[in-house]
Structure 1
Amino acid sequence: MQHITRRATLALGAASLATGAQAQGVPRAEIPPPAQPIEQGAALRVIRPARFIDADETIFRENAARFSERYNVPVRVDFVGWEDIRPQTAVIANTGSGPDVVIGWADDPHVYVDKLHDLSELADYLGRRYGGWSFLARKYGMQHNSTKWIGIPFGGGTGPICYRASALREAGFDKLPEDHAGFLRLCQALKRINKPAGFALGNAVGDGNGFANWLLWSHGASLTDEEGTISINSRETLAALNYLRELYPTFAPGTLSWLDPSNNRAYASQEVHLTANGVSLYYALKNDPRTKPIADDTEHAPLPRGVSAGPPQSATVLNAMVFRHVRYPNAAKEFIRFMMEAEQYDPWLTGSLGYWSQPLEAYRQSAVWTSDPKLTLFREAMNHQYWSGYKGPITQASGAVAADYVLVQMCSSVASGQATPEAAAREAERRARRYYRA
């Protein structure tokens, strides 16, 4: 928690002053921003998910302080635990009070669509200025079957395979297999040499949902069909869950209770040598002298395709929304615009090593993506062709299924032996129908 005022801005010093120079390689169109005068006496409170990378929070706060300095608007920024921000957003929506800007998760604006300000003018400006919006930004930012923007995606973190190259070689592999059978053989070999894999099967917003979705999508399964009809109880889902019964015994102990920080810790402590993770893990390893040798031995690869035509992964998306009850909506929108402009956004993107990959196409030209070849893969995070609720529309129902960990718990019940694949798929179908009928 921090209040950012004019005085705090001055204390930030050179780090804030240097931000503009770092953004000069990002192309942009010279067009005027939306005319939305900030309300007299405005003050803002912002909440967003907690950082996994120190620079994410440090530079975000510096940028918020720059906004305060420029517009004389005090800003308070609160960083909230990943598993806590959705419950807090629900309270804000139901009570009609609270922060002016909520930067929540991908689906969240679709859960509260009737309680949000229309952000279309702002989205149009940013899209025209910075080369257009990425695939997932459009998916999550726009209301289904509408041109109305209900959220402004700040970026997305994707979780490809993160592995120790030396462990792969020791296990007899020179690259990561893309097929299910080959990936299973690799994980079995890693287990035999006591350098196992591990994937989150607990209620983890990013890693738990990411693993469950990969498992399903790589087998051709989906929560719904293109029309939004529940399709989870299918032969493709059963194939995925039966595969999980073979794969899970190769995992390190404890993955059933893993939350988002868990596999970071396990990989850094060499309890696992292969997992799925965003840039945060590599960033932490690279910037700590004690773990830099692990970073040097770490490589990234897309999640195994299985039967999918492309990488069967999506992104954990930060999505900003402004509730109708806020006192200073123009100030809130102007804050979002300011934070997305190149002078603020590119230093944030670069300083975090691309942890929250860009939603606007112009930022593909950011120097961060050529600064380290191990980062380049993450540039594509927001253009993956899978999303929460795939294959159907993103709606209040798809958001609720993700928030309730329906697919994660389907997988964990099979991995733990508490349910057969058939029973788990039926239960997931029953739970999903509750939300889709509401």
Structure 2
Amino acid sequence: MMRVTRRKFLRATGAGTALAKTGGMAAILASGQAPAYAQTQQVHWLKWNDFVPASDVLLRKEMLPAAEKELGMKINLETVNGNDLQPRVTAAIQAGAGPDLIMAFNNQTYLYADSVVDMTELAEDLSSKEGGLYKYARSICSNGKMFMGMPWAVIGAMIAYRKSWLDEVGATTFPDTWEAYRDVGKKLKAKGHPLGQTLGHTFGDAPTFTYPYLWSWGGKEVEADGKTVVINSKETIESVKFMAGFWKDAYDEGGLAWDDTNNNRAFLSQTIAATLNGASIYIESLRKPDQYITEKGTQMNKDIQHAPLPKGPAGQFGFHLLQSHMLMKYSKNQAAAKQLLKWIHTTSNYEKWFISQKGFATPCTADWEKHKVWNEDPVMTPYKVAGRLGQAPGFAGPPNAKAAEALSKYIITDMYAKAVQGTPAEEAVKWAEGELKKVFI
């Protein structure tokens, strides 16, 4: 048997060359770390705790292990409450270190444009393969010069309601105007089934209610120039006056400071009749059909329907939570992070995640409107076109950094919250005007 010496082994395996390049075994031991060729790339991905828990389970148990094996990298998925994402971004940028990929909501991308890697190549490649990115996704993720985030999904905001309870007060179809909704809500509240809504500082349900409500009355923050603040208008004041009465007549007044989970719990515990939400309430009732039972002993999921927000004098609008992923400039794993994004957005991979969402999340490209998932459950159909119909914060101006700042400060939401707590409409609007001028001018 031929004797294999240490020298022959190192030459045969190439390790000798590597040792030479790194200064030998002594240098490796002195440095306390393996040479670069032996290190595994790692990507730290920070996203929200999904309102469809099964999707996070799918990522952890199946999809990311497959990605690690195929891409030859380690993926650290971290999930947090959605309200905690923006503070984490700010802290990471200030420290110059943190997660490589961070989920962003709505036009938060504009706030961090100088701190993120351009994702145009990946985004345009996805657009070309899947029927085009929605205008809504493009406007929020791209400033016209670069894609500040890779579009991920649109979380449609629709009103979930108990059909039998509305039937009992004579609303056999969902009311399509604010006046009609107020009338139905007043009757429901009298029967112990009020409407539910938050006007608190929470990323989802509060702004996705107050912004479309404002627009539907003809109110807006700024003109198309993105500079001229026009919130103090007859239309806005009328919307605030109506909201103050509407809240008292029809809503659970304790909902003022709810976060994005309180209304889910209130609906499923049968204390409210309707609430603006993603489809997570319905999906949870499907997941645990024997747990969520109506007062008549039937499965609650059979009594849940969805509808868009009602119309106002100026029309009907929607603001749907758009999620994207930012690749941070401080990241030392940019190439690997792009590989991960490309892998997970490959149709066959992304489809697994999309199906697990059961319609809660709408993809950002048009081809997904044709997917069979939308035909499997008619209750989910209204969510199909959320990405096509969404309007961005900052309307009628662009959804830029100033619009994102106004959204982050909850100025529009606070204007209505002040009114329902007793501040005169004119005073609440004047306050909002002053706050918006600090941002836009």
TM-score (norm 1): 0.87
Q: Distance in 1 between matches of 2:325 and 2:237?
A: 36
Aligned pairs for 1:90-239 (under 5 A) are: 90-143=90-143, 146-228=144-226, 229-239=228-238
Give the match for residue 319 of structure 1. 324
Give the match for residue 369 of structure 1. 374
1:424, CA displacement in angstroms?
Answer: 1.2
1:177-225 deviation line (CA, Å, top 9, x unaligned): 2122211111111112211111111112110111211220111111222
Residues 233 and 426, structure 1, Cα contact 8 Å, conserved in 2: yes
Q: Distance in 1 between matches of 2:52 and 2:400?
A: 30
Q: Distance in 2 between matches of 1:213 and 1:136?
A: 15
> Aligned AA for 2:202?
A
Residues 224 and 390, structure 1, Cα contact 8 Å, conserved in 2: yes
1:233, CA displacement in angstroms?
Answer: 1.6
Give the match for residue 349 of structure 1. 354
Residues 214 and 313, structure 1, Cα contact 8 Å, conserved in 2: yes
Residues 247 and 253, structure 2, Cα contact 8 Å, conserved in 1: no
> Aligned AA for 2:341?
I
Rg larger for? 2
Q: Distance in 2 between matches of 1:429 and 1:80?
A: 33
Q: Distance in 2 between matches of 1:399 and 1:230?
A: 15
Give the match for residue 303 of structure 2. 297
Q: Distance in 2 between matches of 1:410 and 1:361?
A: 35
Give the match for residue 22 of structure 1. none
Q: Distance in 2 between matches of 1:110 and 1:64?
A: 29
Q: For structure 2, list consecutive stretches of 5 or more residues without a partner in the other structure.
A: 1-36, 294-298
Q: Distance in 2 between matches of 1:223 and 1:55?
A: 38
Residues 320 and 390, structure 2, Cα contact 8 Å, conserved in 1: no
| Residue 428 in structure 1 maps to residue 432 in structure 2 | yes
Aligned pairs for 1:273-288 (under 5 A) are: 273-288=273-288
1:97-135 deviation line (CA, Å, top 9, x unaligned): 111101121112100111111111111111111111012
1:94, CA displacement in angstroms?
Answer: 2.2
Q: Distance in 2 between matches of 1:224 and 1:79?
A: 35
> Aligned AA for 2:300?
I
Ranges of 4+ aligned residues in structure 1 off by more than 3 Å: 38-41
1:56-109 deviation line (CA, Å, top 9, x unaligned): 211233322221111111010111111111111111222221111011211121
Q: Distance in 2 between matches of 1:335 and 1:430?
A: 44
SS of the residue aligned with 2:198? coil
Give the match for residue 28 of structure 1. none
The size of the alignment, in residue pairs, is 396
SS of the residue aligned with 2:124? helix
> Aligned AA for 2:392?
W
Q: Which has the higher helix share?
A: 2
Q: Percent sequence identity over matched residues?
A: 25
Q: For structure 1, list consecutive stretches of 5 or more residues without a partner in the other structure.
A: 1-37
SS of the residue aligned with 1:321? strand
SS of the residue aligned with 1:43? strand
Q: Distance in 2 between matches of 1:409 and 1:220?
A: 18
Aligned pairs for 1:15-94 (under 5 A) are: 41-61=40-60, 62-94=62-94
Give the match for residue 17 of structure 1. none
Q: Distance in 1 between matches of 2:178 and 2:268?
A: 26
Q: Distance in 2 between matches of 1:39 and 1:364?
A: 44
Residues 218 and 314, structure 2, Cα contact 8 Å, conserved in 1: yes
1:147, CA displacement in angstroms?
Answer: 4.4
> Aligned AA for 1:237?
T
> Aligned AA for 1:290?
Q
1:385, CA displacement in angstroms?
Answer: 4.1
1:13-44 deviation line (CA, Å, top 9, x unaligned): xxxxxxxxxxxxxxxxxxxxxxxxx9974211
Residues 220 and 236, structure 1, Cα contact 8 Å, conserved in 2: yes
SS of the residue aligned with 1:83? helix
1:371, CA displacement in angstroms?
Answer: 1.1
1:435, CA displacement in angstroms?
Answer: 2.1
